[in-house]
Structure 1
Amino acid sequence: MQKLVNKSLCLWLLLLPAGQLVAMDLLVTGEDSKPLATVMVTQRLVTAPVLDLSDDGYPPNGVGNVAALESTRFSNEQGLVSFPDGGDMYRYRLRKPGYKDLHSPGADNLAELQMAREFDPLVLAAQKPSNVWLSQLDIGGGPELRKHFFLNCAFCHQQASPFMRVERSPAEWLDVIERMGGYGARIADDLKQPLAEGLASGFAKLNASFDTLPAPREWDAELAAASYREWPIGDGFSQMHDFILHPNGMVYVGDNLQDRIYEVNPITGEYTVYKVPHDENDELGGFLGNRFKSYGKVNNYVGVHSFAVSPKDGHIFITPSMQRALLEFDPHSKTFTRHPMKKGFYPHTIRTDAQDRVWFTLALSSQIAMFDRVTNVFTYYDIPARSFKEWLTIKLLPVIFFINPEYRPMPSVDRKSSGLPMPYGIDVAPDGRVWFARLYANDIGYIDPQSGELAMIDVTVNGPRRLRVDADNKVWMVAFQDGLVAKYDPDSGVLSKYPLPLRSEIPYALNVDRERRAVWVNGNQSDTILRFDIDTETWQVYPMSRQRTFTRDIEIAEDGSVFTSNSHFPSWQIEDAQPTLIHIQPYSQ
């Protein structure tokens, strides 16, 4: 009887005049013609807008383009998916674990799409996200080496993707480790050889036993009420690192490797690119030198990193990680202002407070900086060093960075990353305190702007990265190596831990929806974004449309939807080799 109903529904959809279709209605079935639920259906234009990419493959400064919008939805229990009908010709890609990907030809209207089971064990294994592979990777050395590996080798790209699963000899892995050290990884000197040997043997065993991989987490039926929009921007040599959702409705995305800012209209898909200016005497790579010589196409004199918006005039403040400066962008006049700094190295995460002061971390010099817009004066807060060696290393930074990068001495690296505690995430609490986390020191701290007090608090989590403060002044942070999020209550001093519902996930950042009491988490190994309900302590997981999706931040819109960007580095490892800006409309509001 069910089969007859399904065929009748399909026939009805086929016979219905196109003009009477409610949006673009699809019926997804299996080989038995029964409805298939939780199928990810991605709609793409058959003919994409023509782009002006005449500036070395990118849009020229100030020139407008239109991104080819991609939409993704999930079939419900009846196998139905509905897309708004924009009057264009579309093609569709259907994806569901355990089934063959289905690509439909372009058509005005589609009724039934039938998916076939996948039985090839190698293809089934390849469908599983990197975190599943990573969960079975045995590199030896015990938990300490594994956590050290996670901390230093998972902050740019997925670690067990097809690109990383290529079998290499210990010597080849050692070469990779040394090269990644130039990019910023901090593998301890005495762990480099054990890690190289462990990766060589571990991936060889993993590739030989792919058919024993565990199943990934199943997609939730509630995803049928969710919808995604995605805008391809940049190319395989971009790194869409951070972004900001502006009160003017635009989203501003920074291309860290190409020193460009994308101003995207999420309603129309129109976007304009603005090149970030640099001084004539600036060198490629700034004070760090050109670390990406082997990468190919780079233009990072500045290194666009993080964004914050002034509550006073809407100006956007940007940390240029490769410069000793703070950048200001006026979204009205489209002009940049550079505020030079006399102290500090590596401007990192940034926030503004209610008094229109700009706060940001200085990751290499272990400081917090505050820029007062009224006086145009920087104030620097030195974070206490963990040892004399660390204090001395930090004090010597101006001398070290004065040396030509080609001949600059590289200090030895121990397991505690002495000399580089790396203040990373930062946020301003409703009560005015400024909280920050030190990635390599496993602690957090706060500054009281009124008194100037700076206090440090040890936390029993590994790798606190980016943090946010909720409406009750409680501090939420990701534990990068531990696969969990944690909440610190400043009143009671209690730290609560909440494991992620995904195996071997390495969460990069989070943001708190203060109004809806939810925490959004960036999953970077599992191709997901996660939502944690604070009151019910329950998780919702949103799978992304592209394999090898690596996200670093989340912005929350007034309606509770969220934005993120696919910032996998290198971007050519992303499926389709295409970074994107992503908008997720969740099913719970």
Structure 2
Amino acid sequence: MLHFPFLKRRSSPRFVLAVFLCLSGASLHGLGPAQSSNSNSSDAILSGVVTSQVEGEMEGVLVTAKGVGASVAVTVVTNDGGRYAFPRSRLQPGPYRISIRAVGYDLEDPGTVEVRAGSTQNVNLRLRATLDLASQLSNVEWLLSVPGTEQQRNALGSCVGCHAIAFAVKSTHDTTAWRSVLHRMRNYSSPSFWLNPIKWPWEVPPRAGDADLAEYLSSINLSSGPDWKYELKTLPRPKGVSTRVIITEYDLPRRESQPHDASVAPDGMVWYSDFGLPYLGRLDPRTGEIKEWRIPVARAGSSEGSLDVKFDREGNPWVGLLLQRSVAKFDVKTETFETWAIPEEKASERSRAGMVAMGPDGKVWLKTSVDTYGAHLLDPSSGDITSYPLPLSFYGTDSNSKGDLYLASLSDGVIGELIAKTGEVAVYPTPTPRSGSRRGHVDEQDRFWFAEFFAHKIGMFDTTTKQFREWPIPTPWAGPYDAIRDSKGYVWSGGMHTDLIYRLNPVDGEVTEYLMPTLSPNFRNIDVDSSTDPVSVWLGANHQAKIIRVEPLE
């Protein structure tokens, strides 16, 4: 469990696995401009009003349409009059199933809805109070609900690395059982999740304090009876600008997929890594087609998952092979892989090397952390790797226009700088101590935007002036994981604890939050495609085997 204190080898074609998804009845995935999703627009192909007996017309209800038998779902959000509307460009004619997300409510099933070309189908939706509120709570809502000290709830919050908090609070383990469970959980590696547990190749002993943690966990679950002894608390539904959004979800072909990173290539294709299994995938947003390739093993005996995805000047994806301490390049023309391993003397069995950063000269930065601390500059043309020692453990990385490397330290709350020409390393503490700087991206002005996971803030480090700025995210336990700036100046982030995507306006500090339709998606990396109108924000739902596209309409 993770601490959460705040609140050269070429592969042959036999490694290729191609998966094509049948998209009968699916959306058009963004062909054409996005229109209003919650107005009385005559361009709507499916619209209606959402009401309940308690509230009448309901704002902030997420309404999802998914073609029968399809793998793509489109979601819009109701406005202050309770109206939802799907633009005509987003749904093809055919049968659809409708679902909603509105905590505290269930949908009275309208049955299969037939969408017809050339007309607007009006379907009013009626909601009723749910009889199972617990099944609707997000991780952050469980953290708001459970009693306990900050330290105790931090420990509970760390469960989200592998599974939703609901698994813990719905369990019936007593204190003795929890001690055994905690020991078993600590022996699963970081790429594990509930559908694909992966053990460390070494034994991890119990931690000091596990007995107390076991006692606490047994006091907040269902070990003493069928009901929780505390009130279940919820966050408010979206309103105002937060309802002006279209969300498209693409189901991946393997339910055990963990799309840790979803990154946009220069040609608009979206490539994703798999945190636990050796696959690299590609989504074509224009057609919805998904294709996957199996990544060859670079180091036998190591966990085969991957993490960071970046692109070289030819548009080829490079992916960091986390526990294999290697990097793989995929040639999009030949559909073959080439791998490079960090030298054995520069990385131990326990080192991790999941991050990749591309230099302007075609060289590629790699990084080792956890057991050995180093940055490694690969020249793909020769295979030479130049290594530089680092003073501490860093996580996320990116490079600026000069090829200098910038690093975020989750454990120490600092930003590191490595000058490519000299090898000089400097460390700059964030204004908020132990902020948990996690991952980030350098923008076109050479500013490093990063997420402060523990401080629940978005940070910016100007690589020229060496000055910082920070902006808080208002939702408790926001836990932002990554940050990136779009062409309009907004900065985007998401995280593992909330089901929200955050949009920061750095000019006035305003944060707009967009609720996602799927419970507990577990967001990590975030990327933006500023070439589309509106901007497309892309994320992998790491625990739900989905790629998600978010399009803000204002």
TM range (shorter): 0.7 to 0.9
Residue of structure 2 equivalent to 1:320: 321
Residue of structure 1 equivalent to 2:537: 562
Residue of structure 2 equivalent to 1:80: 84
Residue of structure 2 equivalent to 1:13: none
Separation in structure 2 between the aligned mates of residue 117 and residue 563 of structure 1, nearest angstrom: 33
Residue of structure 2 equivalent to 1:433: 404
Separation in structure 1 between the aligned mates of residue 263 and residue 130 of structure 2, nearest angstrom: 43
Matched, 1:179 2:190: no
Q: CA deviation at 1:164?
A: 4.4
Q: CA deviation at 1:489?
A: 4.5
Matched, 1:133 2:142: yes
SS in 2 for 1:86: coil
Q: Deviations over 1:189-239 (max 9, x none)?
A: 323222222222244699855663333033123244311111100433221
Residue of structure 2 equivalent to 1:412: none
Matched, 1:272 2:295: no
Cα distance change, pair 357–448 in 1 and its aligned pair in 2 (3 A): same
Q: CA deviation at 1:129?
A: 1.8
Among 183, 195, 198, which residue is 2:216 paired with? Answer: 198
Among 246, 259, 263, which residue is 1:244 paired with? Answer: 263
Q: CA deviation at 1:34?
A: 5.7
Conserved 8 A contact 2:80-2:239: no
Q: Match of 2:144, as an amino acid?
A: S
Separation in structure 2 between the aligned mates of residue 443 and residue 278 of structure 1, nearest angstrom: 33
SS in 1 for 2:60: coil
Residue ranges of structure 1 left out of the alignment (5+ in a row)? 1-19, 49-67, 287-299, 386-420, 569-573
Matched, 1:583 2:549: yes
Q: How does 1:26-425 map to 2 (within 5 A)?
A: 26-31=47-52, 35-48=57-70, 68-78=71-81, 79-84=83-88, 85-109=91-115, 110-118=121-129, 120=131, 123-140=132-149, 143-144=150-151, 146-147=153-154, 150=157, 152-158=158-164, 160-162=165-167, 164-184=169-189, 189-203=207-221, 212-278=231-297, 282-283=300-301, 286=302, 302-311=304-313, 313-342=314-343, 343-344=346-347, 345-364=351-370, 365-384=372-391, 421=393, 423-425=394-396
Separation in structure 1 between the aligned mates of residue 445 and residue 268 of structure 2, nearest angstrom: 27
Separation in structure 2 between the aligned mates of residue 257 and residue 469 of structure 1, nearest angstrom: 27
Residue of structure 1 equivalent to 2:199: none
SS in 1 for 2:287: coil
Q: How does 1:416-565 map to 2 (within 5 A)?
A: 421=393, 423-430=394-401, 432-459=403-430, 460-489=433-462, 495-513=468-486, 515-558=487-530, 559=532, 560-565=535-540
SS in 2 for 1:244: strand
Conserved 8 A contact 1:91-1:103: no
Q: CA deviation at 1:21?
A: 7.8
Conserved 8 A contact 2:220-2:228: no
Separation in structure 2 between the aligned mates of residue 434 and residue 535 of structure 1, nearest angstrom: 27
Conserved 8 A contact 2:342-2:376: no
Conserved 8 A contact 1:371-1:378: yes
Q: Match of 1:454, as an amino acid?
A: V
TM-score (norm 2): 0.79
Separation in structure 2 between the aligned mates of residue 306 and residue 176 of structure 1, nearest angstrom: 30
Separation in structure 2 between the aligned mates of residue 475 and residue 261 of structure 1, nearest angstrom: 27
Aligned residue pairs total: 480
Q: Judge which range, 479-488 or 491-500, deviates more.
A: 491-500
Q: Match of 1:465, as an amino acid?
A: R
Cα distance change, pair 146–47 in 1 and its aligned pair in 2 (3 A): closer
| Aligned sequence identity (%) | 22
Cα distance change, pair 493–262 in 1 and its aligned pair in 2 (3 A): closer
Residue ranges of structure 2 left out of the alignment (5+ in a row)? 1-40, 116-120, 191-203
Q: CA deviation at 1:310?
A: 0.3
SS in 1 for 2:178: helix
Q: Match of 2:163, as an amino acid?
A: H
Cα distance change, pair 102–329 in 1 and its aligned pair in 2 (3 A): farther
Cα distance change, pair 197–542 in 1 and its aligned pair in 2 (3 A): same
Separation in structure 1 between the aligned mates of residue 454 and residue 227 of structure 2, nearest angstrom: 26
SS in 2 for 1:304: coil
Separation in structure 2 between the aligned mates of residue 206 and residue 508 of structure 1, nearest angstrom: 36
Q: Match of 2:388, as an amino acid?
A: Y
Separation in structure 2 between the aligned mates of residue 475 and residue 202 of structure 1, nearest angstrom: 40
Conserved 8 A contact 2:152-2:216: no
Q: CA deviation at 1:492?
A: 6.2
Q: Match of 1:331, as an amino acid?
A: V
Separation in structure 2 between the aligned mates of residue 587 and residue 562 of structure 1, nearest angstrom: 12
Q: Match of 2:312, as an amino acid?
A: S
Q: Deviations over 1:483-540 (max 9, x none)?
A: 2333345566654443322122322222222x22222111222211111111121111
The structure with more radius of gyration: 1
Residue of structure 2 equivalent to 1:51: none
Separation in structure 2 between the aligned mates of residue 175 and residue 471 of structure 1, nearest angstrom: 50
Q: CA deviation at 1:381?
A: 1.6
Q: Deviations over 1:250-287 (max 9, x none)?
A: 111122323112221111111212111226x823xx1x
SS in 2 for 1:545: coil
Q: Match of 2:182, as an amino acid?
A: I
Separation in structure 2 between the aligned mates of residue 336 and residue 555 of structure 1, nearest angstrom: 23
Conserved 8 A contact 1:148-1:187: no
Q: Match of 1:503, as an amino acid?
A: P
Q: Deviations over 1:366-414 (max 9, x none)?
A: 21221123432111121125xxxxxxxxxxxxxxxxxxxxxxxxxxxxx
Cα distance change, pair 267–72 in 1 and its aligned pair in 2 (3 A): same
Q: Match of 2:451, as an amino acid?
A: V
Separation in structure 1 between the aligned mates of residue 414 and residue 159 of structure 2, nearest angstrom: 20
Cα distance change, pair 164–377 in 1 and its aligned pair in 2 (3 A): farther
Conserved 8 A contact 1:94-1:101: yes
